[in-house]
Amino acid sequence: MLINRRTIRIEWGDCDPAGIVFYPQYFKWFDAAAAALVAAAGFPRADLVGKQGIVIPMVETRCRFLIPSRFDDELTLETTVTRFGRSSFDLQHRVLKDEVLAVECSETRVWSKLDHTGPERLKSQPIPEAVIRALSQDGQ
């Protein structure tokens, strides 16, 4: 499967009063990593939303925090797809600190089309074969 890697440098504002990364920050990074993975496969978020009305909301998540990260730490975030369904897919995020697993997260996202018949409504859509092929490629 395609793996997207990002380097994150922990900023002062990412930390809570205890001096460790405030946990919601990870979910911000995971969302950006999911978009980056899909973009690396050739489907940038701006095109999906702007041209096709496609969004990929997270509908389920589970996260384990194994070791804390602090201001000025450098982390590597790896994201890949672990399962495809008809309209949903699972992602795995692994956060490495000095090559040691610090955080792992799994999430399920749904390939959805904006439905303008009602306010803020979405309808799941089958994931296009081209998207599945692109995300299934080896590499990176």
Average pLDDT over residues 66-76: 97
CATH of the domain at 128: 3.10.129.10
pLDDT over threshold 50, residue 140: no
Say whether pTM exceeds 0.95: no
Report the DSSP beta bridge partners of residue 110: 88
Please list, in sequence order, all residues whose beta carbon lies within 8 angstroms of the beta carbon of residue 77, skipping any fewer than 6 positions away: 5, 6, 7, 8, 29, 30, 33, 93, 94, 95, 96
**pLDDT tens digits for range 80-104:** 999 999 999 999 999 999 999 999 9
pLDDT of residue 66: 98
Say how many residues make up the chain.
Answer: 140
The residue segments making up the domain with residue 92 are 3-136
Which of these is catalytic: 14, 16, 47, 72? 16
Considering the chain, what is the average pLDDT of its residues? Answer: 94
In 3D, which of 108, 26, 14 has the Cα closest to residue 66? 26
Q: Which residues are bridge partners to 94 per DSSP?
A: 78, 104
The answer to whether residue 98 is catalytic is no
Q: Which residue has the tokens 């959805």?
A: 112
How many domains would you assign to the chain?
1
